[in-house]
Structure 1
Amino acid sequence: MSVLSGLAAALSDGSIEVIDLTTPLSGDTPVLSLPQPLANTVGLTLSPVSNFNDAGPAWAWNDVTVGEHAGTHLDAPVHWITGREGKSVDRIEPRRLVGPAVVIDKSAEAAQDPDFLLEPEHLEQWQQEHGQLPENCWVIFRTGWSARGGNAAEFVNADENGPHTPGVSVAAAKWIAGNDRISGFGVETVGIDAGQAANMDPMFPVHSFLLGADKYGVTSLRQLDRLPAVGATLVVAPLPIVGGTGSPSRVYALVEAV
């Protein structure tokens, strides 16, 4: 049996499960909101073209208006000034979008402190417990934040000082960007940086360091509690928008059934 035949058989008999990590995209899906005078992206709007009526008696279809960075979405290097000469979404090699998932679980810490930051020692500790990071992997930061996804206010968790959501320290952002085994970084929150990242130096260090190092981000993931620390395979499927700085994406994990 070939490798691909074996995969198809495992998917068919359920020994490999496909877990959807994507947040459903609707007009109510929370999107990033920047303070004035900065401009903001839009969420999703569906405009009917026809719906089994005179405009199309046997078919229904819609026009879609959506921001590149709405819902579960991929950040491409050209999204950030440090990667402006890098790849747009359509130029990312597909092999970089499929790879081993490395799950760093800090949900207990984030439950105690919404401003919790991932540090290099947490990444080093993971390697001590599970071994060296695999090639072409995606580091997935599990915080439990997706449990708030049904309520936009709780998901953004903002006060007069801005949003308070878990994220990554400047040092850890440098660590991830400098590791050549890592292709991307995924989070449950609305963006790949911490809620208070505007107050860091540099601002938004995950965007700054990762996208400048030809690595990619994916946001608003769900069901990370169903993934093992190591052993799953991540599949990130953005639209190949020509020149796009990002794209709403369907994200799956392939997991061996226990």
Structure 2
Amino acid sequence: MSILAQLADALATGSIEVIDLTQPLEGTTPILELPEEFGQTAQFRLEEISRYDDRGPAWYWNNFRTGEHTGTHIDAPVHWISGRDGLDVSEIPVNRLVGPAVVLDFSAEVAADPDFLLTVDHVQGWIAEHGEIPAGAWLIYRTGWSAFTREQASALNKDENGSHTPGMSAECAKWLAAETDVLGLGVETVGTDAGQGHSQDPMYPCHFHFLGNSKLGLAQLTNVDRLPVTGAIIVAGPLKIAGGSGSPARVFALVER
């Protein structure tokens, strides 16, 4: 039996489970908020064209409006100034949208401190326990934050000092992006950086280092608690937007049971 035939059989019998890692895209989907002086992304909005009525008696369809980085989405290298000469979302080779996953679970630390930052020592400790991160792997950073990302206020967790959500130290972002062969970074938060990423050096270091090193970003994932530490395959399916800096995406995992 060919490898693809084995895969088809495993999917049919349930020995490989398909896990949806995508949040629903709707009017209440949380979005990033930048300081007032900057341009803002649009909230998702569905506009009905017809629904089995005089506008179209046999069909239902909609227009929609949203930003490229709304909901579960992918960041292309060109999204950040450090990757401005890199690939836009339509240019990402499809084989770079599929890869093995390694899951670094720091949800307990985040429960104790929403401003928790992943460090190089944390990652090296994970490697000592689980082995080297495979080349071409999605690094999935589990924080438990998907429990809060169905509503704007809880997703951003803001006070007078800004947003308080977990992320990664600048040193860790630089090391992972420049010194490892990861495909990209996947997170549960609204963006790949910490809520206080604006005060790091460089500002928003995950965006700066990962996209500047031609890596990808996946944000606002869910169900990552259902993934094994290693062994899953992640598939990300963004829209092929010509010139796009990113796109909402349907992201799912293949997990052997």
TM category, shorter: over 0.9
Aligned-residue RMSD, C-alpha: 0.8
Q: Is the 8 Å Cα contact of residues 149 and 190 (structure 2) preserved in structure 1? A: no
| Counterpart for residue 9 of structure 1 | 9
In the alignment, the residues of structure 1 paired with residue 111 and residue 42 of structure 2 have an alpha-carbon distance, to the nearest angstrom, of 29
Counterpart amino acid of residue 186 in structure 1: G
The alignment-based identity, stated in percent, is 55
| Counterpart for residue 50 of structure 1 | 50
Q: Does 1:118 align with 2:118?
A: yes
| Counterpart for residue 98 of structure 1 | 98
Q: Does 1:68 align with 2:68?
A: yes
In the alignment, the residues of structure 2 paired with residue 252 and residue 11 of structure 1 have an alpha-carbon distance, to the nearest angstrom, of 13
Q: How many residues align?
A: 257
In the alignment, the residues of structure 2 paired with residue 9 and residue 102 of structure 1 have an alpha-carbon distance, to the nearest angstrom, of 25
In the alignment, the residues of structure 2 paired with residue 35 and residue 182 of structure 1 have an alpha-carbon distance, to the nearest angstrom, of 31
Question: Structure 1 regions of 5+ residues with no counterpart?
Answer: none
Q: TM-score, normalised by structure 1?
A: 0.98
| Counterpart for residue 127 of structure 2 | 127
Q: Deviations over 1:58-88 (max 9, x none)?
A: 0011011111000000000110000000000
Q: Does 1:219 align with 2:219?
A: yes
In the alignment, the residues of structure 1 paired with residue 160 and residue 38 of structure 2 have an alpha-carbon distance, to the nearest angstrom, of 17
Q: Does 1:202 align with 2:199?
A: no
Shift of 1:180: 4.1
Counterpart amino acid of residue 73 in structure 2: H
In the alignment, the residues of structure 2 paired with residue 9 and residue 128 of structure 1 have an alpha-carbon distance, to the nearest angstrom, of 35
Q: Is the 8 Å Cα contact of residues 29 and 151 (structure 2) preserved in structure 1? A: no
In the alignment, the residues of structure 1 paired with residue 203 and residue 185 of structure 2 have an alpha-carbon distance, to the nearest angstrom, of 18
In the alignment, the residues of structure 2 paired with residue 33 and residue 145 of structure 1 have an alpha-carbon distance, to the nearest angstrom, of 17
Counterpart amino acid of residue 81 in structure 1: I
In the alignment, the residues of structure 2 paired with residue 26 and residue 154 of structure 1 have an alpha-carbon distance, to the nearest angstrom, of 16
Q: Spell out the pairing of 1:151-166 with structure 2 (5 A cutoff).
A: 151-166=151-166
Q: TM-score, normalised by structure 2?
A: 0.99
Q: What secondary structure, in the 3-state scheme, does the structure 2 residue paired with 1:95 have?
A: helix
Shift of 1:105: 0.1
Shift of 1:110: 0.1
Counterpart amino acid of residue 124 in structure 1: Q
In the alignment, the residues of structure 2 paired with residue 40 and residue 152 of structure 1 have an alpha-carbon distance, to the nearest angstrom, of 15
Shift of 1:151: 2.9
Shift of 1:213: 0.3
| Counterpart for residue 108 of structure 2 | 108
Counterpart amino acid of residue 164 in structure 1: H
